[in-house]
Structure 1
Amino acid sequence: MPLTFTLDPEVTRRLRDGILDLWADVTEAGGAVGFVPPVTREDIRPTLLRQFADMAEGRSRLLVGHDEEGEVAATAFLTRNTHPLMTHWIWLYTVMVHPRHQGKGYGRDLLAAAERSARTLDGVEAIRLTCRGGLGLERFYAACGYKEVGRVPGAIRVAPGDDRDDVIMLLPLT
């Protein structure tokens, strides 16, 4: 059964808790979403609260996918660029699908919903994201239409002696 996607949902306690659970579960399963295991909801909470503050100030928008039980199953944040010469593209951050839903095509569905959402934003001509190298994520994003446009070797240190590339991907919308 497909996910139901909502752009700019009302931020409720249930949504907040659902995103915290999703983020922790994705991280614990090895997902590259800004943390490394072990992680707790309390480790993630300050980062999520900053995202909510950006949303309240109009700098970021939340796309959330709910499963058939109404649980948060996927998220992505679409964030406007603040540099005046780069307002024609947006960032896509914290792209997550819950591990219990992996392999069902929901990641592709999430990216397609993000693309549809970005196309509704005035002046936006592209989506840019970065991903952690060494996990095959760049192949997934490429299969969804994104092109690798840059790579910073060893920019992400996940543990002592374990540095990963920061891979820059772009999806033109025009």
Structure 2
Amino acid sequence: MPLAFTLDPAVDASLRDGILDLWTDVSNAGGAVGFVPPVTRETIRPELVRALAALAEGRNRLLVGRDEDGRVAASAFLGFNTHRLMTHWLWLYTVMVHPRDQGKGYGRDLLAAAADAARAFDGIEAIRLTCRGGLGLERFYGSCGYKEVGRVPGAIRVAPGDERDDITMLLPLT
């Protein structure tokens, strides 16, 4: 069953808890969303608070996908550029699909919904994201239309002796 996506849902305790649980579960399943397992909800909470503050300030937007039971099954943040020469593209970050829902096409659905949302924003011509090398994420994003436009070898240190490339991907919207 497809997810129901909402851009800029009302942020209440239920949504905060749903995103916090999603972020924790994705991180503990090895997802490349800013943490290395094991993590707890309390480890992730400060980062979620920062992301929600950016929403309240209008710097970012939130896209949430809910399953048929109303649970948060996917989410991503869309970040606007504040630099006056870069306002024609936005960042997509913390792209997450719950581990229980992997393989159902929800990742592709989330990226398509993010592109649709970005196209509706005035003057946005492209989406940029970064991903952690070594997980095949660049192949997945590439299959969704993104092109690799940059790579910094060894920029992400997952653990001592385990450095990964930081890969920048771009999706033109026009």
TM-score interval for Structure 1 and Structure 2 normalised by the shorter chain: over 0.9
Shift in Å, 1:39: 0.5
Q: Confirm or deny that 1:151 pairs with 2:159.
A: no
Gaps of 5+ in 1: none
Gaps of 5+ in 2: none
In structure 2, C-alpha distance between the alignment counterparts of 1:83 and 1:165, rounded to whole Å? 25
Please name the residue that 2:60 is paired with.
60
In structure 2, C-alpha distance between the alignment counterparts of 1:73 and 1:17, rounded to whole Å? 12
Aligned length: 174
In structure 1, C-alpha distance between the alignment counterparts of 2:83 and 2:132, rounded to whole Å? 24
In structure 2, C-alpha distance between the alignment counterparts of 1:74 and 1:110, rounded to whole Å? 7
Please name the residue that 2:105 is paired with.
105
In structure 1, C-alpha distance between the alignment counterparts of 2:24 and 2:56, rounded to whole Å? 23
Shift in Å, 1:88: 0.4
Q: Identity, % of aligned pairs?
A: 79
Please name the residue that 1:133 is paired with.
133
Q: List per-residue Cα deviations over 1:103-148 (Å, max 9, x = no partner).
A: 0000000000000000010110000000000000000000000000
Shift >2 Å, 4+ stretches: none
Q: How high is the TM-score relative to the length of structure 1?
A: 0.99
Please name the residue that 1:124 is paired with.
124
Please name the residue that 1:14 is paired with.
14
Q: List per-residue Cα deviations over 1:1-43 (Å, max 9, x = no partner).
A: 0000000000010100000100000011010000000101111
In structure 2, C-alpha distance between the alignment counterparts of 1:130 and 1:82, rounded to whole Å? 18
Q: How high is the TM-score relative to the length of structure 2?
A: 0.99
Q: Which amino acid aligns with 2:165?
A: D
CA RMSD of aligned residues (A): 0.4
